Amino acid sequence: MEVIVTKNREEMSKRAAALIAEEIKRKPNALLALSTGSSPIGTYQELIRLHREEGLDFSKVRALNMDEYVGLNRTHPQGYYYFMEHSLYQEVNIDKANTFGPQAAEGNPKEEARRFDEKIEREGGIDLILLGIGRDGHIAFNMPAERLYFATHVQELSETAIQDNARFFDNVDQVPTKAMTIGIEHIFKSRKVILIAGGKNKSGIMERFINSGALDTGIPATVLRLHPDIKVILDEDAASDLQGKKG
Ligand code: GLP
């Protein structure tokens, strides 16, 4: 696992964007799995800049959302598809037909979860996944638990995750209590993994994740410790509880 500590959130975002741009140039129709939340916003802004100023071409790129709140459809402003559409898709030349995600508001959740996993298989698997991390160590919406599920599934959200995501809603009661999330298998099978974390509120979990000597389902991100191609990009605040990692 390569741990890269950058000066600040802007550098963290640029570093991640540069790696994504490199992947798109290497494989113009790369399948990217993109994360939501506040962490990747700067990365998407930098990708938009690279598109506008340096002609980074998204025309063949395929992109997926890895999770979605149950009950919110694709057009809901707090939904994750809407987030991706507004944070990146509509600002670059990606073909919307090449973007997808779990549609947790529709039909039978088990069938929808299977449809989503089959679609990822059919597309040939994820080339690059950009992950954030929750303060409790969750990735996408795979929450700390005794069991981590391989397949896409519906997940009850932890109190921490609900509280943390409340800032995107008018009040905490509006935060859905369940989400459909990509499972551990497709995350782990992604050919390249980038995990980004910025800010002091991520320093504790980054210390636990990076110094963990074991697979710990209480910190779902620890499965990534076994991944052969993972880069963890932090800013100095998120790295502040690590020893000997600065610079
Ligand atoms: C949500 C998302 C995750 C994201 C996490 C951290 O729970 N499902 O994909 O990594 O939030 O969000 P933030 O980057 O806002 O701290």
Q: Which atom of ligand 1 is nearest to the CA of 202?
A: 16
Tell me, what's the pLDDT at 105?
78
In the reported structure, the alpha carbon of residue 240 is separated from the centroid of ligand 1 by a whole-number distance in angstroms of: 20
**In a mutational test of the pocket of ligand 1, which residue from 39, 87, 205, 237 has the highest number of ligand atoms less than 8 Å from its CB?**
39
Torsions phi, psi of 224, nearest 5?
Answer: -70, -15
Q: Which atom of ligand 1 is nearest to the CA of 38?
A: 15
Q: How far is the CA of 125 from the centre of ligand 1 (A)?
A: 22
Nearest CA to ligand 1 atom 14: 39
Question: pLDDT tens, 70-115?
Answer: 988 888 999 999 999 999 999 999 999 999 999 887 789 999 999 9
Q: What are phi and psi of 69, to 5 degrees?
A: -65, 140
* Residue 48 half-sphere exposure toward CB, CA atoms < 13 A: 14
State both tokens at 191.
Answer: 């050919």
Residue/partner pairs of 166-171 with CB below 8 Å, 24 or more apart:
168/78, 169/78
Average pLDDT over residues 156-167: 90
> What does the pLDDT look like over 214-227, one tens digit per residue?
999 999 999 999 99
Ligand 1 pocket test target in 34, 35, 70 with most atoms within 8 Å of CB: 35
> How far, in Å, from the CA of 84 to the mean position of ligand 1?
13
Q: What is the mean pLDDT of residues 20-33?
A: 98
Contact 116, 124 (CB under 8 A): no
| Confidence at residue 73, expressed as pLDDT on a 0 to 100 scale | 85
Which atom of ligand 1 lies at the shortest distance from residue 35's CA?
9
Relative to beta strand 230-235, strand 62-65 is unpaired
The residue whose C-alpha atom lies closest to atom 1 belonging to ligand 1 is: 37
Span from the CA of 54 to the centroid of ligand 1 (angstroms): 29
Q: Would you state the pLDDT for residue 246?
A: 46
The binding-site residues of ligand 1, defined as CB within 6 angstroms of any ligand atom, are: 35-39, 67, 132-134, 140-141, 161, 165
Residue 146: per-residue pLDDT: 96
Average pLDDT, integer, range 118-136: 97
Mutate to test the pocket of ligand 1, among 13, 157, 165 (most ligand atoms within 8 A of CB): 165
Per-residue confidence band for 245, with pLDDT thresholds at 50, 70 and 90: very low
* 179 backbone φψ class: left, alpha, beta (φ>0; ψ -120 to 50): beta
DSSP state of 8: S
How far is the C-alpha of 105 from the C-alpha of 172, rounded, in Å? 20
Report the distance separating Cα 202 and Cα 206, nearest Å.
6
Q: Hey, how many other C-beta atoms are within 10 angstroms of the C-beta on 139? A: 28
Residues 24 and 57: their CA atoms lie apart, in Å, by 8
CA of 8 to the centre of ligand 1 (A): 19
The answer for 136, left when phi > 0, alpha when psi is -120 to 50, beta otherwise, is alpha
Is a pLDDT exceeding 60 seen at residue 1? yes
Mean pLDDT calculated for residue range 9-21: 98
Question: Which of 138, 158, 160, 186 to mutate to test ligand 1, by most ligand atoms within 8 A of the CB atom?
Answer: 138
